[in-house]
Amino acid sequence: MGRDTSLDPDDWDATRAQGHRMLDDMFDHLATLRDRPVWRPIPEAVRARHRTAPPKGPGDLAEAHRVFLEDVAAYSGGNLHPGFMGWVQGAGTPVGMLAEMLAGGLNANLGGRDHMPIAIEAEVVGWARRLFGFPETAQGLFVTGASMANFIGVLVARNQALTPEVRHVGVAASGRRLTAYASSGAHSCVRRAMEMAGLGSEALRLVGVDADRRIDIAALRAAIAADRAAGFSPFLIVGSAGTVDAGAIDDLTALADLAKAEGMWLHVDGAYGALGVLAAEIAPRLKGLERADSLALDFHKWAQVPYDAGFVLVRDGAAQRATFATPAAYLQRETRGLAAGDWWPCDDGPDLSRGFRALKTWFTFKVIGTDAMGAMIAHTCELARELEILVRASNRLELLARAQLNIVCFRYVAEDPGADIDALNHAIVAQLHEDGIVAPSMTRIDGKAAIRAAIFNHRTEMRDIEALVREAARVGDSLTGTKA
């Protein structure tokens, strides 16, 4: 009795002073990114220091922070650094970081109830409706990432095709064999979404692409017809607005027309590309996006909101709700008090407890604005075009996928015709990572190992693009013993 078991500090002043130091250290970290390598291999001693038992007694905040700086911040993934061009990752901003701190302080749970954080998420949902040309009936939701957003799109589409009864009787009860369609360039999370939805990845037909790596509409139409003739039930077309390997944007208007004619659901994976609507030069290529039944995107990619900030938008909000809302006595909605509230986001997705992802997105847009965001997005595409020019001009490098947006794929070509070029390019990229100047990633293009530069980082400049070309050629030369 009378014991103070609160976890708040005894000395608020000391905690405040330490908090200010931690904030300052993080600002220093962000302001000096260029002074450090993109990435460094983690020394075994550092890993070994973190195989520990759960801490039993109290520790010191300043000491924990020291360990964070030395062992964690120093060996982080590198995506903040201007030389980072691997995979498809955003770089964050100081504004987003500060918003994360505020969200952590509020510790709001956005599953439901009547509090202002939910109104902020609703405000961002409203922005998304306007940005992507969706109607007022559309519902949106923050989720972890586009993998989850695509999964939600598939689930809502599946339940619309099978009727909401599927929630009770399961997928098999209908006896129908649902099939979905996407281009061969679609992200692997779409395949996984089909698996997790109980439809199976074989039911996802991967359709060939045209010269610009966009889904071949005639082949898609033929695949749907063939499946119908064979007794399948085509229900979903997944369009890509920016493929992960090549930045290809499917002809979304043609897909919307076809989905309408076939009575199918059109879901668009706009993980990063959807935010191209903010750049005047890209927006026209996204025409048709506004006709999608559902859209997956990530604010943590091109919009630079700190991880994670995935988002799904569904044209028919009622269909989304019918897929997920699950009444329970302990979640009873009231007309007054904290348990009131006209939107409980837990009705629109699989999560009940949800963090305040909306806040960092809200702050990012409030402070940066869509104009500057669009200019930054356009600039990353410009850098990609410059990279394409440099690759074409190099006698060491071969272009494998041109810059449709902000992604360019190329490879080093050895003079020795017997060389294993795939293995060589993997070795080049590993060496580049270890050298720490630039960090592209690898993929396969037309069966060839490709160095992929995905330029998402708002800090990347022309000198980083030049460094990539120079270093890839230099490392390739050194590995093959080629004289410069």
Ligand X SMILES: Cc1ncc(COP(=O)(O)O)c(C=O)c1O
| Residue numbers 56-95 binding ligand X by CB under 6 A | 88
Q: Is 146 in the site for ligand X (CB under 6 A)?
A: yes
Please tell me whether residue 187 binds ligand X under the rule CB under 6 A: yes
Segment lying near ligand X (by CB under 6 A), choices 99-107, 238-246, 311-319, 437-445? 238-246
Pick the closest to residue 95 from 378, 310, 356, 369 (CA basis). 369
Q: Assess 286 for contact with ligand X (CB under 6 A).
A: no
Helix (H) or strand (E) holding 296: strand 294-298
Nearest to 274 by CA among 256, 300, 255: 300
Using the 8-state DSSP alphabet, how is residue 288 labeled? T
Chain centroid to CA 74: 24
Of 134-142, 153-161, 201-209, 240-248, the segment contacting ligand X by CB under 6 A is 240-248
Indicate which single residue of 124, 125, 189, 409 sits in contact with ligand X (rule: CB under 6 A): 189
* Least distance from ligand X to the Cβ atom of residue 268, Å: 10
Q: Which is nearer to ligand X, 243 or 294 (by Cβ)?
A: 243
The single residue among 216, 250, 251, 269 that binds ligand X, judged by CB under 6 A, is 269
The one segment of 23-31, 73-81, 139-147, 470-478 that binds ligand X by CB under 6 A: 139-147
Closest CA to 257 of 285, 237, 283, 232: 237
Stretch that binds ligand X, among 228-236, 266-274, 342-350, 397-405 (CB under 6 A): 266-274
Cα 78 from Cα 64, distance rounded (Å): 22
Asked if 166 touches ligand X (CB under 6 A), the answer is no
d(CA 238, CA 204): 10
Tell me the residue number closest to ligand X, measured at CB.
Answer: 145
Residue 197 makes contact with ligand X by CB under 6 A:
no
The least distance separating ligand X from the CB of residue 326, rounded to whole angstroms, comes to 24
Residue placing its CB nearer to ligand X in the complex, 145 or 317:
145
Bridge partners (DSSP) listed for residue 269:
240, 296
Decide if residue 288 touches ligand X (CB under 6 A): no
Unique residue bearing structure tokens 């990347």: 460
Nearest distance, CB of residue 443 and ligand X, angstroms: 11
C-alpha 358: how far from chain center: 15
Specify the residue, 83 or 185, whose C-beta has the smaller distance to ligand X: 185
What's the closest the beta carbon of residue 309 comes to ligand X, in angstroms? 9
Q: Which is nearer to ligand X, 242 or 476 (CB)?
A: 242
Distance CA 268, CA 288 (A): 10
Does 140 sit near ligand X (CB under 6 A)?
Answer: no
Stretch that binds ligand X, among 27-35, 269-277, 369-377, 418-426 (CB under 6 A): 269-277
Contacts (Cβ under 8 Å, ≥6 apart) of 161:
176, 178, 233, 235, 236, 265
Binding segment toward ligand X, per CB under 6 A, in 39-47, 108-116, 145-153, 357-365 = 145-153
β-strand pairing of 310-314 with 294-298: antiparallel
* CB-based contact 285:276 (threshold 8 Å): yes
- Give the CA distances from residue 324 to residues 38, 155, 156, 191, 346, in Å, rounded to whole numbers and listed in that order: 42, 9, 9, 21, 8
Distance of alpha carbon 233 from alpha carbon 209, whole angstroms: 23
One of 271, 346, 368, 465 touching ligand X (CB under 6 A)? 271
- The strand pairing partners of 481, in sequence order, are none
Q: Which stretch binds ligand X (CB under 6 A): 142-150, 197-205, 314-322, 419-427?
A: 142-150
Q: Quick one: 39 or 272, whose CB is closer to ligand X?
A: 272
Under rule CB under 6 A, residue 272 binds ligand X: yes
Asked if 293 touches ligand X (CB under 6 A), the answer is no
Would you say 262 or 293 has its CB closer to ligand X?
293
282: which residues sit within 8 A by CB, 6+ positions away?
273, 276, 377, 378, 381, 405
Secondary structure (3-state) at 79: coil
Exposure string of 437-460, with b = 16+ CB inside 10 Å and e = fewer, is: bbbbbbbebeeebbbbbbbbbbbb
Q: Which residues pair with 425 in a beta bridge?
A: none
399 binds ligand X (CB under 6 A): no
Among 93, 147, 425, 460, binds ligand X (CB under 6 A): 147
Question: Which strand (E) or helix (H) includes residue 441?
Answer: strand 441-445
Give the interface segment with ligand X, choosing from 55-63, 98-106, 237-245, 351-359 (CB under 6 A).
237-245
Please, which residue, 79 or 480, has the CB nearer to ligand X? 79
Closest approach, Cβ 255 to ligand X, in A, equals 15
**Omega within 30 of 0 (cis) for the link into 308:** yes
How many residues bind ligand X, per CB under 6 A?
A: 14
Binding site for ligand X (CB under 6 A): 88, 145-147, 187, 189, 242-244, 269, 271-272, 298, 310
